[in-house]
């Protein structure tokens, strides 16, 4: 029996900077998961994924990532996506510093 489709976002890495990015409903890339387009329909997700994968001059490693609804937008289901969202772990800089300044 096929598994039920769960909410997902399209994610990748920016080609030049290497930052984690998410596909928006406006077909643009954002570095903020809160602005990602949450896909709840499997057929729509497959079509949007193909569209995102075709943007080879902008991103690499495009894939669908499982998410769950959160109070401030989509929240990662798996540790890998949480780790990618928060940025490098070797120093307190970039996204980690930005997140700390919001709290």
- Summarize pLDDT for 60-88 with one digit per residue, the tens: 999 999 999 889 899 999 888 887 887 66
The pTM score is 0.81
Residue 3 covered by a domain: no
Confirm whether 89 is domain-assigned: yes
Q: Look up residue 23 and give its two tokens.
A: 């596909």
Domain count, the chain: 1
Q: Is the pLDDT of residue 93 over 90?
A: no
1 in a structural domain? no
Structure tokens at 27: 């077909």
Q: Is 44 domain-assigned?
A: yes
Task: Choose between 101 and 58: higher pLDDT.
Answer: 58
Indicate the pLDDT class of residue 95, thresholds 50, 70 and 90: low
Range of the domain at 91: 8-102
Output the CA–CA distances (angstroms, integers) from residue 37 to 2, 8, 27, 76, 91, in the order listed: 24, 8, 9, 13, 29
């Amino acid at each position: 029996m096929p598994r039920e489709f769960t909410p997902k976002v399209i994610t990748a890495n920016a080609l030049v900077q290497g930052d984690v990015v998410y596909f928006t409903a406006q077909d643009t890339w954002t570095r903020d998961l809160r602005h990602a387009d949450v896909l709840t329909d499997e057929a729509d997700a497959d079509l949007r994924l193909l569209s995102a994968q075709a943007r080879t001059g902008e991103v690499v490693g495009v894939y669908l990532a499982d998410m769950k609804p959160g109070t401030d937008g989509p929240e990662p289901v798996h540790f890998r996506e949480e780790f990618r969202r928060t940025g490098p772990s070797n120093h307190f800089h970039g996204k980690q510093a930005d997140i700390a300044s919001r709290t």
